[in-house]
Structure formats: C-alpha cells, structure tokens
C-alpha cells in the first residue's frame, strides 16, 4: 500500500471515529477521548522522559473521576485555571529561544495541565444550556480544520513572511491571517446554519480563539518535538503520526474556550 493511500485511509478512519462517537452520545465522546488520553499520555511520557507506569494510571483515574463534573462550577473553574496557567507557561517556553528543557517536576505539571486536563475539559465544552450538544464540539473541530486548511492554502500561495521560522519554517504571517479570516467566516456560517446560535458574537469570538490558539498549540508541539529530536509523537495513525500530532491544536484550544464559557457565565 503506497504512503498516500495509507494516509488517506487512516485519516478517514480517524474522522469517522471522531465525528461518529461525538455525535452518538456524551458517553461515546467520553470513551473515545478517554482512549485518546491514555495514548496521548503515553506519547507525552515517551517524548519528555516521564514514567508512564505512574502517569497513565493517574491520568485514567483523573479522567474517570472528573469527566462528568462540569456542573460543579468551582471545580470547573479550578481545572480551567490550572490548564490556562500551564498554557501560559508553555507560551513563555515557546517565545524563549534559550529555553529547551524542563525540570522533571515541571514536566509532570505540564503532563497534568497540558495533556490530562484538556481531555477532561473537552467533555465540559460539549455541554450546552440544554445538556449535551455534539454540535458544539463538532463545530470547534471543523473550525480547527478550517484554520489549518486555509492557513496552508493562503501561506502556500501568497505567504512571504515567516511566522516562527525557528520552530516551524513553513508557517507564514499571511497564512496565519488567512486562516484567521476564513475561520471567523466559518464560525459565522456554522452559527447561522448548523448550530442555529441565538448570539452570533459568541461564535465569532470562539472562531478567533480557535484560530489563534490552535496555531500556538501547533507551534508548541513542534518545539517540544524539535527539542526531543523526534518527527512525530507516535505512529498509531499511519501517515499522520500520533494522537498528540492530531490533537495538539484541540488540547490547546479547549481550555481557552472553556475559560470564555466561564467568563460568560460569571458576567451574565
């Protein structure tokens, strides 16, 4: 089987599994992302030199206990805060050219805030005002794909100025801007014709969050891999790499969307 066909088939299986489980039920989403979490933790431990015999049980136990605790506002806020703090630490790491490695205790903190918590919070983001709403998470995923696609197309055709050459030489400022514009357009279309949202502004903000932070999440993952000296975090998906290669954008985006949800709740 040639590489292109292998990549297409594994990508198709991934998309069908992802959208199918999310659409089926809240439990389907929980089981799928629980499995993704275990694999993602294993990949992160291999990449960062952590003990996965300790990390995987902690991750699985945390996920099992917390995946459906979104109604506990104090807990939700605390988990989101920890994840955002971790994201800020990773952003400082990204923009610090002299920083390459973390101490062992910091790596475990990153494992919890950067990998484990976003998988838990994904279950929270999928909850709408009337309960589980798969359209919310599907729309976020579609927006991430939209950003990736149009950032690539615009960057390939008119991109001249490198966005972050030391980490990702192919990304351009023009591609980033194109991805942002088309993602916001996609957010407007999804809000009007798929989600039937009552407030368009919310989905414009979500689209902007998706575009900005999915790009940053991809850059952070690229730097982590570059420092670790690896091309992919794993090989579970032929032609696509590992789970963290596929979900690096969503696990960085989700905490910021959940933070936006919480801000809306507290100010309303």
CB 245 within 8 A of CB 234: yes
d(CA 159, CA 156) in angstroms, rounded, equals: 6
Reported pTM: 0.94
State the pLDDT at residue 4.
67
* Separation CA 155–CA 11 (nearest Å): 23
- Classify residue 218 by burial, with Cβ atoms within 10 Å: 0-12, 13-18, 19+: buried
CA distance 160 to 4: 28
Contact in structure between 78 and 121 (CB atoms under 8 Å): no
Q: pLDDT tens digits, residue range 109-154?
A: 999 999 999 999 999 999 988 899 999 999 999 999 999 999 999 9
Three-state DSSP class for residue 59: helix
Burial of 17 from C-beta contacts in 10 A (0-12 / 13-18 / 19+): middle
pLDDT digits (tens, 9 = 90+) for 159-214: 899 999 888 888 999 999 999 999 999 999 999 999 988 889 999 999 999 999 99
């Amino acid at each position: 089987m040639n590489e292109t066909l292998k990549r297409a088939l594994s990508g198709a299986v991934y998309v069908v599994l992802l959208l199918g489980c999310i659409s089926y039920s809240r439990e389907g989403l929980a089981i799928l992302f629980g499995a993704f979490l275990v694999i993602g933790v294993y990949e992160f431990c291999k990449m960062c030199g952590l003990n996965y015999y300790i990390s995987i049980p902690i991750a699985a136990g945390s996920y099992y206990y917390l995946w459906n605790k979104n109604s506990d506002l104090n807990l939700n806020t605390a988990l989101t805060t920890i994840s955002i703090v971790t994201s800020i630490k990773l952003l400082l790491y990204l923009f610090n050219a002299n920083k390459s490695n973390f101490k062992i205790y910091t790596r475990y903190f990153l494992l919890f805030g950067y990998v484990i918590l976003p998988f838990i919070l994904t279950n929270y983001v999928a909850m709408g005002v009337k309960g589980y709403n798969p359209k919310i998470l599907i729309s976020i995923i579609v927006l991430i794909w939209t950003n990736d696609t149009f950032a690539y197309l615009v960057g390939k055709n008119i991109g001249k100025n490198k966005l972050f050459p030391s980490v990702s030489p192919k990304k351009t400022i023009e591609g980033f801007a194109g991805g942002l514009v088309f993602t916001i357009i996609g957010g407007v279309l999804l809000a009007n014709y798929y989600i039937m949202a009552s407030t368009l502004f919310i989905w414009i903000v979500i689209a902007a969050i998706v575009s900005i932070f999915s790009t940053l999440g991809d850059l952070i993952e690229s730097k982590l891999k570059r420092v670790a000296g690896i091309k992919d975090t794993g090989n579970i998906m032929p032609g696509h790499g590992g789970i963290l290669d596929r979900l690096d954008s969503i696990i960085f985006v989700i905490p910021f969307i959940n933070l936006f949800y919480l801000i809306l709740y507290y100010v309303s």
